Structure 1
Amino acid sequence: MTTDEIDNPAAYWGRLWASGRRYSPLTDAETALLAQYTGPGRGRLALDIGCGDGALTHHLAGLGYEVTGLDCTPVAPALAEPTAGPVQYCCADIEATQPPPLPQRAFALITARLLFAFIKDKPSFLDRVRSLLDSGGVFWVVTPMADRLPPEHASIGITGLDEELLTRRWGTVRATDLGTLRCYALRAWSADDTETRGHR
């Protein structure tokens, strides 16, 4: 399976979730890294793109974020555990021509777990993420690396060229390996950073 074979993402992923398919669960090591790079929510806004069954969305709510889980199919979020935290779900394709109808547009944290390899137009996707991030906000990406996977599964990971594209145009970039996964904390330029760059 490759991204080019997924002509209708909502139908494709909806069938898999409905059939009982599940993906790599969150680990303690991953959530510890997330907390290290992003800190407590304190009521700040977070967007979980490709939220699936809401595992990460639910975790972010537990950290104190006001979270919106975004997925292209309603099937996956329908499987999410109920939570008393400030969580809502939005069914929309992040790659659609029109931006998704999100309740907010300045997120302190945006997450994309096990998603980036499947994005068809990665430059446009990254531009959209930046447009949704608040000044100094963090884009948290977790993805397999293609060169660490068996050849038959390499399409679910990103290449070196994908990584180069992903990590451009950020104020700071931090990457940590967890087995076949790589976790990125990509911090957007803040207003202070922009002013400093302008005086160099």
Structure 2
Amino acid sequence: MTIEGPATYWDLLWAGGTRYRPLDENELAALKQHAGPGAGRTALDVGSGDGALARHVAQLGYATTGIDCSTAAISLATENSTAVGVTFREADIEGPEPLPVTEGSVHLVTARLVYAFIADKPAFLGRMRRLLVPDGLLWVATPMADRLPDRAWVGISADDEDLLTVGWSAVDITDIDYMRCYALRP
């Protein structure tokens, strides 16, 4: 689903009290298995929302920056954050503005519940590849449209999945009910 004016769209939902699928132990264990300990390496959480995943990544030892295009989400993430090693910034991953990290410097990029809503998926994936260090990891966790027939618009199609997984040196997939997690290496 493509959203016109994503910052306004997400601001209204976050400010209105909408919350999304909470992190679960299976998802966190899969991420930890693929990402490993941070040991001070850098991480970027794209579409960080309330900041739960960014805080978890920081607890793994990564110097983490969470970004979201929604001012309301960043306010919520900042209010809820007592974690060491995590900062939150308002930034639109699809916008032309520079991100708060430099290309080729990020060891782990996470994008949870984000990929289905990206308008230009090829551009997004290109940007993710440019952000990563050569042995970095892109972690994408997303619902699968065919597993949510009543809400297929929040998930990705088989074509979206093909686009997501092509061109990586390693692709590992973990299924968790209607979610699929992708560990992608350049």
Deviations 1:97-145 (A, max 9, x none): 3442x14431000000000000000000000000100111000000000
Alpha-carbon displacement from aligned partner over 1:42-67 (angstroms, at most 9, x marks no partner): 00000000000000000011111000
Letter in 2 for 1:130: R
Unaligned runs of 5+ in 2: none
Q: What is the percentage of aligned positions where both structures have the same residue?
A: 54
Partner residue in 2 for 1:56? 53
1:155 pairs, out of 153, 156, 160, with 153
* 2:19 equivalent to 1:14: no
Moved over 3 A (4+): none
Residue identity matched to 1:89: F
Match of 2:181 in 1: 183
Q: How many residues align?
A: 183
- For the aligned residues, what is the CA RMSD? 1.1
Rg (Cα) greater in structure: 1
> Take 1:116 and 1:57, find their aligned partners in 2: how far apart are those partners?
17
Cα distance in structure 2, aligned partners of 1:99 and 1:169 = 25
Q: TM-score, normalised by structure 2?
A: 0.95
Structure 2 CA distance for aligned equivalents of residues 127 and 103 of structure 1: 15
Q: CA deviation at 1:96?
A: 1.0
Structure 2 residue identity aligned to 1:140: W
SS at 1:24's partner residue?
coil
C-alpha separation in 2, matches of 1:28 and 1:149? 21
* Cα distance, 1:89 vs structure 2: 1.3
Match runs of 1:30-45 below 5 Å: 30-45=27-42
Q: Residue in 1 aligned with 2:22?
A: 25
Counterpart residue number, 1:133: 132
Task: Report the Cα offset of residue 86 of structure 1.
Answer: 1.3
Q: Distance in 1 between matches of 2:171 and 2:37?
A: 19
Counterpart CA distance in 2 for 1:145 and 1:66 is: 30
TM-score, normalised with respect to structure 1: 0.89
Residue ranges of structure 1 left out of the alignment (5+ in a row)? 189-200
Q: Is the 8 A contact 2:45 2:65 kept in 1?
A: yes
> Matched residues in 1 for 2:83 and 2:127: separation?
30
